[in-house]
Amino acid sequence: MSILRIGGISSGLDTEQIVRDLMRIERMKNDKLYRQKQVMNWQKEQFREIINQVRRFRDEYFNITKPDTNLMSPSTLKKMTASCSNSIVSVSANADALSGNSTFKVLQSATAAKAAAVAICQGSAEGNRLSLSDSMQTVSSKLAEGFQFGEDGRFTLIINDTEITISKTDTLGSVINRINSSGAEVQAHYSSFSDTFTFTAKSTGAGYITTNDGGNFFSALRLPPTEGKIGVGGRDAIFEINGFAGTRSSNVFTIDGITYNINTQVNEATEVMTVTTGVDTDGVYRLIEKFVHDYNSLLDTINSKLQEERFRDFPPLTEEQKDAMKEQDIEKWEEKARSGLLKGESSLENMLRSMRRALYDLVGDFHLTQIGIETSSNYRDQGKLTLKGGGNALREAIATNPEKVADIFTRRSDIAYSPNLTSSQRAQRYDESGLAHRLSDIINDNIRTTRDQQGYKGLLLEKAGIEGDISEFNNFIDKQIAELNKRMDRMNQLLDRKEQQYYRQFTAMEKALQQLYSQGDWLMTQLNQGFFAKK
């Protein structure tokens, strides 16, 4: 209910200002709640910045969809190089390839089955050429021997055991598209420039394009089938590796970890080529070096927040305080107010402690130091990794024993990761796993978006949530903020009542003073009248 405010009419007091000053004192309690809420929002923001960096780290190095950087895959850390002495063949190697030299000889390359007909139209006039927009009835009329449509104006053609129905009203372009998109695995093409129709198998290898020539289709195109086949057959690639003969239907094939690509058509035997394979030392080194750098960067980010100084004399500013300050002063103040909000945060400390331990513990009989990666001896580095001898030791380990390097990172346990593993299963998985799987498990325990059997997501997501997930609004900090909002709403209601009370009191005072002044005036009038009456 609104209160009639009488502002200092009788008293001469600035009632509005007095009430504002009184309410400023009352609102100090609500300001305290506001500051608590602001601190929590800032904490949530800083948690999410860390969560996002952890996610980027995980997605870069423990992601099966990124085979070039997935440290959980043996093929990633056993990169091989391959080269061929002749440009006729290009080669590449995967983790299954052995280092060394081998010989390769091409006897013939693979080709695709093909059928082609030239000058299929009647006469040689340019205006008699086919058009992709012609109906099939029009196309038929332009051919020396036309198509044979049924009573319904259709016929069914079979190409490589695939039925294709063609109508008089279909355009030539639509028929070609229908053939090309069918399961016949044939690419059809018509060139109006050369008046040429071609049909080419989509895959190389021995075999022919087969047909029943329904509707006299191929015969009308001057490609009459012979025993159900048209054109010339395809052929397989024939080659020798270290003197042993082999065949493949494609010109690209992988044998013993080496992928061969016959780049040009070969109709007769080539000279013997030399294929050289070896460990891609530089490639593996660059990947591990980048991993070490990004790991250290992640540690820097988290440790800087854990050790950041807290300035308790710089609480968040209220809007009223900001209105009385310059913009640059506000920025300086809030820089200190935001500092140290995650100082000593146990969930982050536990995650870092687990990650450092995962990299320090043995993998079987191997230790990270055996491949030239050490933990910094400077305590200020807080567990950062360093490359011994500027990386020379790591390069040597990759070159001389790539299997060992790969095993330290990629060794896999028979127990799959799950948030619901028992403590004994977790311990067994940890002992049987390489460094990449250990780190991946730790990160998943903290930022996974899936729930365990008790309904909990990753620890950090339960704490602060992340955008794009239900935890964005359903997390520990937001629940605390919601409770503060309720308290602030109740407090605001009480403050509104208090303000109304103050105005009522001042209004009553003004009315009382006005009445008092009126009585004084009356009394003075009476006295004056008595004085003049006596005279």
| pLDDT average, residue stretch 503-514 | 69
Residue type, position 223, single letter: L
Q: Which tokens go with 212? A: 């029943």
Domains of the chain: 80-110+238-279 (no CATH), 112-235 (3.30.70)
pLDDT at 515: 72
pLDDT classification of 363: cutoffs 50, 70, 90: very high
Residue-wise pLDDT for 180-229, tens only, equals 999 999 999 999 888 899 999 999 999 999 999 999 999 999 999 999 99
What residues contact residue 264 under an 8 Å CB cut-off, 6+ apart? 88, 109
Residue-wise pLDDT for 101-124, tens only, equals 999 999 999 999 999 987 666 555
pLDDT at 7: 55
Q: Which tokens go with 276? A: 């050289």
d(CA 30, CA 8): 28
Residues paired with 254 in a beta bridge: 259
**pLDDT at residue 151 greater than cutoff 50:** yes
Q: What is the mean pLDDT of the chain?
A: 90
pLDDT at 1: 43
Residue-wise pLDDT for 41-96, tens only, equals 999 999 999 999 999 999 999 999 999 999 999 989 989 999 999 999 999 999 88
Residue-wise pLDDT for 370-386, tens only, equals 999 999 888 888 889 99
pLDDT classification of 3: cutoffs 50, 70, 90: very low
d(CA 479, CA 488): 14
**pLDDT at residue 169 greater than cutoff 50:** yes
Using alpha carbons, select from 11, 13, 10 the residue that is nearest to residue 22.
13
Q: Could you tell me if 264 and 88 are in contact, meaning their C-beta atoms sit under 8 angstroms apart?
A: yes
Higher pLDDT, 487 or 512: 487
Using alpha carbons, select from 121, 16, 40 the residue that is nearest to residue 464.
40
Of all residues in the chain, the percent with pLDDT exceeding 90 is 75
Residue-wise pLDDT for 8-31, tens only, equals 555 556 667 766 665 566 666 778
| pLDDT average, residue stretch 490-506 | 72
Residues paired with 246 in a beta bridge: 239
Q: Is the pTM of this model over 0.95?
A: no
| pLDDT average, residue stretch 156-179 | 97
pLDDT classification of 2: cutoffs 50, 70, 90: very low
Long-range contacts at 127-133 (CB < 8 A, ≥ 24 apart): 129/192, 129/195, 130/172, 130/190, 130/192, 130/195, 131/172, 131/192, 132/171, 132/172, 132/173, 132/176, 132/190, 132/192, 133/171, 133/172, 133/173
Higher pLDDT, 517 or 132: 132
pLDDT at 11: 56
Q: Could you tell me if 183 and 149 are in contact, meaning their C-beta atoms sit under 8 angstroms apart?
A: no
